[in-house]
Structures are given as C-alpha cells and as structure tokens.
Amino acid sequence: MGLFWGSSNKDDPVKKLDPDLREYLEHEAPKKYVPAPQDAPQTVDTQAQASQPGPSDSAEPSKPVVPAASLFPDGRYAHLWKTYKPPQDQDESLAQSAERVIEKYKERGNSVHRASMENCALEHEALSYCFKTGNWQKRLEARVTLCSEENTKFSRCFTTQAKFLQALGYASSFNYDEEKEERIQMHADKLYHQMLDYEEKVKEAKKAGQEPPPLTSLFNPQAAPQPNPDTTPEALVIPGGEKIPENMKPSKPLAKLTPHERELEIRVHHAQLEQQKLYVQEATPFMKTQDEARQKRREKAVSWFGETIGRWVT
C-alpha cells in the first residue's frame, strides 16, 4: 500500500544512496514544468540563450562568403566567383535551351492547328451535320459525294487560317502572352473572311456584267490598289505590290492561286524566315559548344590516326 499512500522517510531508498550520487541525481533530474500566466512576461533561459550561436558566431559580416568552387579559402576574389558556373551546369543550361527550341517548334504547330480548328468551327460543324441530317435521300447523296461542298469549305478554311496565323506570328514568341495570341487569332479570322467577301463580290460583279472591285492588300490596306487579274490575266497580280522572293517555295504554283493567296504565301515565307532566325538565336550557344567539342575530337583523332582517317572518324 506504500505505493499508493506514500511511504515513510525510513523506507525511502534515496537516503541509502551516497551523498555525492544523490546530489548529482537531484541536479540532473528534469525540472518540473510550471506554466507561466498569460499576462506575465515570458522569461528566457539565459543559459540556453548563451549556448545558441549568434550571428557573429556563425559567420563574420566583414568576411565574404567563399563559393565552393573558389581556389582561395581566405575569400580573395570572392566577388568574381559569384558568377562562376561549373562546366557541367553550363552544359545542362545549353542543352535545355536546345530542348526548348525543339519543344517550341512542336508546340507552335499544335497551337496553330488548334487555333485553326477554333476559327473553322462553323465549317466543321456543317461538315459533321452533312452526314447526319436530312432525309434518307439527302444522307445517301452525302455518302456518295462525301459532302464534297462542305468538305471543300472546311479544308480550305483550315489550311488558309493556319497560314494566316503563321503569317501574323501566332505562337512564335518564347514568352507566351495570352491576350496577344488571342488578338492574332481573331485578326487571322478577320482577314480570312475579308478574302472570302472579296471573292464573293467578284463573282457577283461577273454575273452582273460589271467591272470587279479594285484589289487591295489584306496585310497593308493603305497600299495602292492593284489592277484586277481579269484585266491582266497574263500577269501574276499580287495585292500591295509584294515582290516574289527568289527562294520561296509556295504550297502550289502561284498561277493556280488567287491574288490574296499569293500575298499570303509571300507573308508566310517571310514569317518562317523570321521564326528560323529566332530558333537559331536561341540554340546558337548549344550549337557553338557542340562544334567546339567536335573540333577538339577531330584534332585529337588527327594527331592519332592522321588527317584522312581522323576526319573520317569524327
């Protein structure tokens, strides 16, 4: 019962201990926790505070931080070593820039196709309904003709809208700007329908036996109008007076394209050249390091095997 009701001092086992050992145990025993009142100021253990290293103990303010790659532990030239990057880190950053160019090239193609589908949503919907709506005769005719009229409209819309997007620089920048890309997408759709409206006006003028309206540029409306192609069928009329680049490879012969489509092909050609310059500028550091590494390997192989074999191996 002494366990529950306490025990007398006679049976206290602590008294049997050596006085020095008893004093040591009393000193090392954890102190009883006494919560301080909320309104009382909190005290800080001076002994624990003294044991914690202060700012002056960990690092001296006057002494510069020495980078790990520095060859001078005393801090000399520490300001020069701040911008130092190990060769491994530089190679990784250059490789990432090359991967970024590849990913951007793939991403731009997907973005242009997605935007073209959004701009041609009505044409795509008409093509889909062609096979599903109407009586059995209408559906049979659609299957036989494969909805050629609707399919032609959608195919031309998708292809031409993609070219307008490329010519206007859609998804060409490495820094994505949602508002800018949306404006370009809307502008491309606007130019496409301006082209269709002009073609419709030409058809109506021909039916009425009137002279077609003047041919103006879609990309540069302030330019002087060009003569209508019907009046000069032997010439390749291009709106805005655009000159045909020598190294341009159009998707179709220019003679088989409408005047606005010729202008669009020229604009796409220039836009592709600018995009290639942007890709090359981004990947130039990586290409330069690769060329330097290849040149070093070639020099080493030539010193081992001679000029002919060394160049062939590398």
Contacts (Cβ under 8 Å, ≥6 apart) of 34 = none
Looking up tokens 């959608």 gives 154
Write out the two tokens for 158: 């998708």
Is 21 among the domain residues? Answer: no
CA distance 204 to 152: 21
Is 265 among the domain residues? Answer: yes
What's the mean pLDDT in 12-18?
62
Is 302 among the domain residues? Answer: no
Is 308 among the domain residues? Answer: no
Is 111 among the domain residues? Answer: yes
Domain span at residue 184 reads 90-215+236-284
CA distance 262 to 226: 13
Per-residue pLDDT tens for 18-52?
Answer: 676 566 666 656 555 555 555 444 444 444 444 45
Is 28 among the domain residues? Answer: no
Is 6 among the domain residues? Answer: no
Q: How many domains, in total, are found in the chain?
A: 1
CA distance 80 to 87: 16
Assign 74 a pLDDT band (cuts: 50, 70, 90).
low
For residue 162, report the phi and psi dihedrals to the nearest 5 degrees. Answer: -60, -40
Is 307 among the domain residues? Answer: no
Q: Give the CA dihedral 186, 192, 198, 201, nearest 10 degrees.
A: -90
Per-residue pLDDT tens for 102-157?
Answer: 788 788 889 999 999 999 999 999 998 887 876 667 777 777 787 888 999 999 99
